[in-house]
Amino acid sequence: MKQFATFRLDTTNECLWRGGAKIALAPRIFGVLRYLVDNPGRLITHDELLDALWPETYVQPQVLRTYVLELRKLLGDDAGQPRFIQTLPKRGYCFVAPVSDGDASGSASVSASAVGGAANGAGSGNKLRCIVGRDDELARLQAQVRLADSGQRRVVFVTGEAGIGKTALVDAFCKGLGASANVARGQCVEGFGAKEEYYPVMEALSQLCASPDGEIACRILARMAPAWLAALGRQAETAATVRERMPGDLCGALEQLAERKPLILIFEDLHWADESTLNLLSALARRRAAARLTVVATCGPGDGCVDGSGEHPLRGMRQNLLMRELCVEMALAPLTRAAVSQLLARELEQEMLPAGLSGFVHQHSEGNPLFAIAILEHLIARRFLVRDATDRHSGGRSRWETVGPFEEMEADVPERLAQMIELEIEGLSEAEQRILGAGSAMGIAFPAWAVAAALEEDAALVEETCDGLARRLHFVERGGEDELPGGMRSEFYVFVHGLYREVLYRRQAATRRAMWHARIAQRLGGIFAGRESSVAREMAMHYEAAGEWHRAIAAQRAGARHAREREAHTEATQLLEGALRLAGKLSHKERGAQVREIRDDLTTDGGSGAARRLRIVSGKA
């Protein structure tokens, strides 16, 4: 536990505390803060931070700016007069607040039910009992029901990306209610919104009428909302029921039903709901009469239409209710590493996990429970994780162990996740797929100018399309604005999860990827004309991906010259070693000339550490 000012950084649960209040942090943001706090009072360069947090992945430095901006908001820091994070332009960051070892006793402890979840639920087959990492959210939902029980109707939006655990949270919440309330659930279905009005509402009403209190529900509906009951097929249509289903009639009927016993309505995947359903929920939230009524709705963070048909009305409705304080939003954060460990222990039914497993899964899943389980299944299917012989210390049961270091595991995408992501991508228009595909060539973050260069399209139009995608999709978000030489500015965007970027990149033909990389490298050279050496490493990466070895080598050598001018001799040597590696891809005749030139560069820079590799590349080892 590290302490600075009024904050405590909880490295066990990967969160931040301010007094007794817990502040959840996304894994990447936590990683940035932890590295800064672990190294106070000194310059942390962009490269050092990127190498520490993304050692195997190329990530653009401007991504760090996004995370630092988010940290400043959470800490209440001012970039002009920093109390915590000082920006050193063109260089990096420095954590300027005094840091001490904090006392963990002041923070709220993880509940026994969460810590013991894996052991209690192992082998039971009932995974609702051992939902992990969501104790705070469950407590908040239960608190909303208690408020509703006193007559304060409540509307709660549970938001989060696909696979984050919204349904699992609602399942656990409902299970804890028992018979103390009437619960009815309606599922919104993709594509049904334009075909059938009130689909999730009718499903919930059907459940109410079939519940132990169904006879009472039917009587109330027959008296106050007969058209709704007739639509369920539970009452013959008469002259009194021929009129349309009126939202006001149903609101009144639900309120009367809640007088006898608290009523909880749950609507899942509200981003696929029809407009009539949303209008009904808005009416339920706005009515002023006291009612022991709670509405819990799950939806994605973007509330968007994936099919490109325009912005979903859910966004406006939810924002309006939030502004009027007629609802609350509960955004599910990724699981901490400790919670991922509990999840894995539950799935494997063993408390002691193989060394490195939880760290590997947490890193690649980024705290998404669905992704974590899929990665675990993938490790088992690839026989990287196997059962060993019976362990006498585990009650005669075999244990799961790894067959090698995780560094040797290929960074491929589990098939189940790849199929899920493919379905989401295929719901986009062809033009949108091309834009995201070109963005994936840049890495986790992609500026609009690079996408425009790859596709040879107008940068302003590309930026407008990317803005629309960031509003609609849960896996793309706006990262900020990039300032380029000559006063040029360009928005940049971030894939929220690296697996989406990986799937988008791999689904492109190799020739198309090569063409995009070459165009991006050329555009980089144009933007930084006269200063190409400052972006030489990025240009070399793109030229190498394009298979243009000569240009990649030239860029590496230019970067080495730039590093040498800054007296960054270690960096210069690393770049020249990269150039040597690329020289090995040339024909024997071309290789000799390049190796001789790079040898001269290394000699100038004093890079004796590369001598062995130099002999291998030149064929003299």
DSSP letter at 177? Answer: H
Beta strand 7-10 with 182-187 is unpaired
Is residue 315 predicted with pLDDT exceeding 80?
yes
Predicted confidence at residue 397, as pLDDT, reads 64
Q: Which of 233-242, 488-497, 589-598 has the lowest mean pLDDT?
A: 233-242
End position of a domain, from candidates 381, 409, 437: 409
Q: Is 390 helix (H, G, I), strand (E, B) or coil?
A: strand
H helix or E strand, kind and range, residue 557 = helix 549-565
398: tokens are 């075999």
Predicted confidence at residue 249, as pLDDT, reads 93
User: Is the C-alpha dihedral spanning 349, 351, 355, 358 positive or negative?
Assistant: positive
Give CA–CA dist 174/266, Å, rounded. 9
Predicted confidence at residue 194, as pLDDT, reads 62
End position of a domain, from candidates 384, 409, 434: 409
Predicted confidence at residue 235, as pLDDT, reads 67
Is residue 312 predicted with pLDDT exceeding 80?
no
Predicted confidence at residue 119, as pLDDT, reads 31
Asked if 80 and 148 sit in the same domain, the reply is no
Q: Does residue 122 lie in a domain region?
A: no
Is residue 611 predicted with pLDDT exceeding 50?
no
CB under 8 Å to 53, separation ≥6 — which residues? 28, 31, 32, 35
Query: Total structural domains in the chain?
Result: 4
Q: Does residue 193 lie in a domain region?
A: yes
Predicted confidence at residue 512, as pLDDT, reads 95
295: tokens are 């509405």
- With a pLDDT cut of 70, the percent of the chain lying above it is 85
Is residue 113 predicted with pLDDT exceeding 70?
no
Q: Is 71 helix (H, G, I), strand (E, B) or coil?
A: helix
Given pLDDT bands bounded at 50, 70 and 90, which one contains residue 308? very low
Asked if 200 and 244 sit in the same domain, the reply is yes
Predicted confidence at residue 519, as pLDDT, reads 96
Domain that holds residue 280: 140-331
Given pLDDT bands bounded at 50, 70 and 90, which one contains residue 310? low
End position of a domain, from candidates 331, 361, 386: 331
> What is the dihedral angle through the alpha carbons of 609, 613, 615, 618, rounded to the nearest 10 degrees?
-130
Is the CB of residue 89 less than 8 Å from the CB of residue 473?
Answer: no
Q: Does residue 383 lie in a domain region?
A: yes
Query: pLDDT, tens digit, for every residue of 354-365?
Result: 988 998 999 888
110 vs 605, more confident: 605
Among 8-12, 43-47, 169-173, 524-528, top mean pLDDT goes to 169-173
Average of per-residue pLDDT values in the chain: 83
Is the CB of residue 527 less than 8 Å from the CB of residue 484?
Answer: yes
CATH of the domain at 234: 3.40.50.300
Is residue 220 predicted with pLDDT exceeding 80?
yes
Q: Hey, which residues does 9 pair with through a beta bridge?
A: 2, 16
Query: pLDDT, tens digit, for every residue of 65-84?
Result: 888 888 888 888 887 778 89
Asked if 291 and 368 sit in the same domain, the reply is no
Q: Hey, which residues does 265 pair with through a beta bridge?
A: 184, 295
Asked if 312 and 381 sit in the same domain, the reply is no
Q: Does residue 58 lie in a domain region?
A: yes
Q: Which own/partner pairs from 611-619 qualify as long-range (CB within 8 Å, at least 24 positions apart)?
A: 613/577, 613/580, 613/581, 614/580, 617/580, 617/581, 617/583, 617/584, 617/591, 618/591, 618/592, 619/588
Q: Does residue 119 lie in a domain region?
A: no
Q: Does residue 115 lie in a domain region?
A: no
Give CA–CA dist 362/30, Å, rounded. 13
Q: Does residue 118 lie in a domain region?
A: no
Query: pLDDT, tens digit, for every residue of 577-600?
Result: 888 888 888 888 788 888 888 888
Asked if 393 and 426 sit in the same domain, the reply is no
Is residue 236 predicted with pLDDT exceeding 80?
no
Asked if 561 and 588 sit in the same domain, the reply is yes
Query: pLDDT, tens digit, for every residue of 1-56?
Result: 888 888 899 888 788 888 777 887 878 888 899 999 999 888 888 888 888 887 65
Given pLDDT bands bounded at 50, 70 and 90, which one contains residue 311? low
Give CA–CA dist 445/59, Å, rounded. 7
Predicted confidence at residue 70, as pLDDT, reads 82
Q: Hey, which residues does 24 pair with through a beta bridge?
A: 15
pTM here? 0.72
Asked if 184 and 325 sit in the same domain, the reply is yes
How big is the CA angle at 565 (ends 560 and 569), to the nearest 5 degrees?
55
Predicted confidence at residue 109, as pLDDT, reads 34
Predicted confidence at residue 606, as pLDDT, reads 54
- With a pLDDT cut of 90, the percent of the chain lying above it is 36
Burial track 575-593 (b if 16+ CB lie within 10 A, e otherwise): bbbbbbbbbeebeeeebee
Residue 430 CB-density burial (10 A; 0-12 exposed, 13-18 middle, 19+ buried): exposed
Predicted confidence at residue 116, as pLDDT, reads 32
Is residue 120 predicted with pLDDT exceeding 90?
no
Predicted confidence at residue 19, as pLDDT, reads 74
Predicted confidence at residue 238, as pLDDT, reads 58
Asked if 148 and 42 sit in the same domain, the reply is no
599 vs 166, more confident: 166
- Nearest Cα residue to 329 out of 129, 108, 166: 166
Is the CB of residue 107 less than 8 Å from the CB of residue 10?
Answer: yes
CATH of the domain at 58: 1.10.10.10
Spell out where 136-216 has E strands.
154-159, 182-187
Q: Is 196 left (phi over 0), alpha (psi -120 to 50) or beta?
A: beta
- Nearest Cα residue to 448 out of 389, 559, 527, 549: 527
438 vs 411, more confident: 438
Beta strand 385-390 with 398-402 is antiparallel
Predicted confidence at residue 193, as pLDDT, reads 61
Give CA–CA dist 295/288, Å, rounded. 15
Asked if 69 and 199 sit in the same domain, the reply is no
Asked if 472 and 582 sit in the same domain, the reply is yes
362 vs 309, more confident: 362
Q: What mean pLDDT is predicted for residues 468-481?
A: 86
- Nearest Cα residue to 231 out of 213, 214, 247, 244: 244
Predicted confidence at residue 240, as pLDDT, reads 55
Asked if 324 and 192 sit in the same domain, the reply is yes
Is residue 313 predicted with pLDDT exceeding 90?
no
Predicted confidence at residue 137, as pLDDT, reads 92
Is residue 511 predicted with pLDDT exceeding 80?
yes
The count of other CB atoms within 10 Å of the CB of residue 413 is: 21
Q: What mean pLDDT is predicted for residues 192-198?
A: 75
Given pLDDT bands bounded at 50, 70 and 90, which one contains residue 60? low
CB under 8 Å to 81, separation ≥6 — which residues? none
Asked if 600 and 567 sit in the same domain, the reply is yes
Q: Does residue 110 lie in a domain region?
A: no
Predicted confidence at residue 616, as pLDDT, reads 43
Q: Hey, which residues does 154 pair with through a beta bridge?
A: 294
Query: pLDDT, tens digit, for every residue of 363-419?
Result: 888 899 999 999 998 888 888 888 876 554 555 567 888 887 876 666 678 888 888
